[in-house]
Amino acid sequence: MKEGRDETVNDSHEQAGHESAGEVPLLGLSADELLMTTRTVRRRLDLTRPVPRAVIRRAVEIAVQAPTGGNRAGWRWIVVDDPALRAEVGRVWSECAEGYLRHVPADDRMLPGARHLQRIIGSVPALVIPVIEGRPPERDLSWTASFWGSILPAMWSFMLALRARGLGGAWTQVHLRREQEMAELLGIPHGEVTQAGLVPVAWTVGTTFKPARREPVEEILHWNEW
């Protein structure tokens, strides 16, 4: 059966009212289903349906319950939904992506989706950039792990919250090649904070996603020693 828009997320006036308040019906996924089917979505982002700010606000509200080093919660979330600014952010991202994708083998399975996202990213309803206070520490590994561990779990929780509501995003970091340029474009104080990535956010076309193919657990799980 060809996938279409899920009936639990429709365009009725009543539904639109719920969306504007951030009250989007959940898809009813179990915890395991949510964790195993939250994918980086590139080719199934709905560019025609606006994403209310309240929906993104709710996803961020959930995301900031993630663990953070020292419980300091030094995160900020930049949401770009202005069409002109979104196009500029998309241009920078696309140019950075080109520098990466030209080195990806032509038979790589992710390449068609990545190229599609490169073409449309400036038209995705919202572009979200999670930011953490401070700059990456030039100290031992424990400090580096603590730094990134204070924002990346929240970034993943944000994507889980989107998926649970019928939205999707793509975990990307390619624009960090030109982090300072992006900071200047968005008024981010570059010397004081660090961008962790960029997530294009949209409703998904259809809500059925499958677990990714991964190595068998038996090949990667070790007990007591390597």
- Assigned domain for 6 exists: no
- Identify the CATH number of the domain in which residue 89 sits: 3.40.109.10
Share above pLDDT 70 across residues of the chain, in percent, rounded to a whole number: 90
pTM: 0.88
What is the Cα–Cα distance from 198 to 42, expressed in whole angstroms?
13
Q: What is the pLDDT of residues 196-222, one digit of tens each?
A: 999 999 999 999 999 999 999 999 999
Asked if residue 16 is part of any domain, the answer here is no
Residue 131 is predicted with a pLDDT of 97
Per-residue pLDDT band at 57 (split at 50, 70, 90)? very high
Instruction: Calculate ∠ Cα 44-126-36, nearest 5°.
Output: 45
14 within a domain of the structure (yes/no): no
DSSP secondary structure letter of residue 198: B
pLDDT band at 62 (very low <50, low <70, confident <90, very high): very high
- Number of domains the chain contains: 1
d(CA 80, CA 86): 6
Structure tokens at 186: 């968005």
Examine residue 24 and state whether it is found in any structural domain, yes or no. no
Asked if the structure places residue 5 within a domain, the reply is no
The pLDDT of residue 21 is 54
Instruction: Decide if 56 is inside a domain.
Output: yes
**Residue 108 and residue 91 in contact, taking contact as beta carbons nearer than 8 Å:** no
Residue 30's pLDDT band, with cuts at 50, 70 and 90, is very high
Q: pLDDT tier at 31 (50, 70, 90 boundaries)?
A: very high
Q: Note the pLDDT tens digit of each residue in 116-163.
A: 999 999 999 999 999 999 999 888 899 999 999 999 999 999 999 999
Residue 52 lies in a domain: yes
Q: pLDDT tens-digit profile of 64-122?
A: 999 988 878 899 999 999 999 999 999 999 999 999 999 999 999 989 999 999 999 99
Count CA atoms closer than 13 A to 170's CA, side-chain side: 25
* Token pair for 218: 């038996």
Digit-coded pLDDT (tens) for 160-191: 999 999 999 999 999 999 999 999 999 999 99
Let me know if residue 219 belongs to a domain.
no
Task: Provide the residue range defining the domain that includes 78.
Answer: 29-206
